[in-house]
Amino acid sequence: MYDGDGNRIEKSSLPAGAGGTLYWYGLNSAPLEETNLTGGMLRDYVFFGGERISVYTPTSAILAFFNDHLGSTSKFESVSSAGAVTLEFDADYAPFGRVREFGSDLYDPAFKFMGKEYDGETGLDNFGARYNDPTIGRFISADWSSVPEAVPYANLTNPQTLNLYALVSDNPETFADLDGHYSGISESEAMCSVDICTGNSLDLVGDGPANPDDGQSPSPSEALAQDVARANAAQQQTPSSVVRTGEETYSKPTKMTNAACPSGCTFEGKIYSYQVVDAKGNPVKGSMTVSEQLKAVPPTKTTPTALRGSAPNGQFRDVVGARAPFKAGRSVVDQRFTVTQGGHSYPLSTTIRQTVVIDDRGHVFVSERTLVP
């Protein structure tokens, strides 16, 4: 059984009467507590910095998770009341999630590959939006998005993202999927300024319309696309604002390579997905370019570099966070957008305040709120 947000709230086992589990959630999509169908406590989970670190059961000592860079549970240890530490679970994982256990495990944790719950009944990993089959290395259902699009979460410059059943573009040794949707950061999908960054990756598809100030002429295909866009301008909806359609959290340093980091850099933060809509809230379709305008909020003194890129059918992504080395500090920036479509520019009404905080231990915390819809 699932709630309105897609979170599993009950799992029943067959045959009837064999028992089941109720899931109790906090502020995110990870359960804080599991009970049986009559409300008896089975497991209580403890989180720190958004990461599951331990679990308590009525019949055992405190159990601690030790995770790898993808969030997969590699070791599981118990701590008795006397302070004795026992290794309960020790495992490694094949690239797509098959568990390779070492020795005889005393306790079998439910959350394993990429920190997702493993269903022993089906042999599948519950990623939230979809289930992964670690045996074949594929999701058992196609990817989807809340806003209709031809190929959800695809970067058309990267053929690996066109497979709607693939796990993080077939690169699960580098990237982690947070919620069952594509979550890998690839070239042209993320750009950061120095130290603290807030900027749109905009899921660049091509280079968009040529900039008249850069001294370059559009290619024949670009010129044709621009002519078609102008011809259809009268039929297109007028862009008015943006709405957030998704959010991905990278709570651990993640390597990426792009134009701003040709030799690679390490990113930590969030990636927000947006949709351009008209005054009635309908998605705006067609080719367009989205430019951001950034303004530092005092006492923040440094304004990150504003970015610009193409947004097919009004969909784009915004990278907000920091890149290594992570220096302690706080940055607050107000962000606005301008859409260029069919030769016309449309300043959008939306104003978003983005906050990036790096604590003394180098942990990055990102938040944003909409000041003007």
Query: Which residue stretches of the chain are H helix?
Result: 220-231
Tokens of 213: 């100030």
Residue type at 101? E
Give the number of other CB atoms < 10 A from CB of residue 362. 14
Euclidean distance between CA atoms 298 and 333, whole angstroms: 9
Express as a percent the part of the chain with pLDDT over 90: 21
Q: pLDDT value at position 156?
A: 67
Report the pLDDT averaged over residues 190-204. 36
> pLDDT tens digits for 132-184?
999 999 999 998 877 677 788 776 667 888 889 999 888 888 777 878 876 55
Confidence of residue 222 (pLDDT cuts 50, 70, 90): low
Tokens of 110: 């439910």
Considering only CA atoms, which of 53, 55, 51 is closest in space to residue 42? 55
Residue 264's H or E segment, with its range, is strand 261-277
Give the number of other CB atoms < 10 A from CB of residue 306. 17
Peptide bond into 253 cis (omega under 30): no
Euclidean distance between CA atoms 145 and 135, whole angstroms: 25
Contact 134, 97 (CB under 8 A): yes
Contacts of residues 44-48 at CB distance under 8 Å and 24 or more positions apart, as own/partner, are: none
Q: Indicate whether this model's pTM tops 0.85.
A: no
Q: pLDDT value at position 15?
A: 63
Q: pLDDT value at position 227?
A: 58
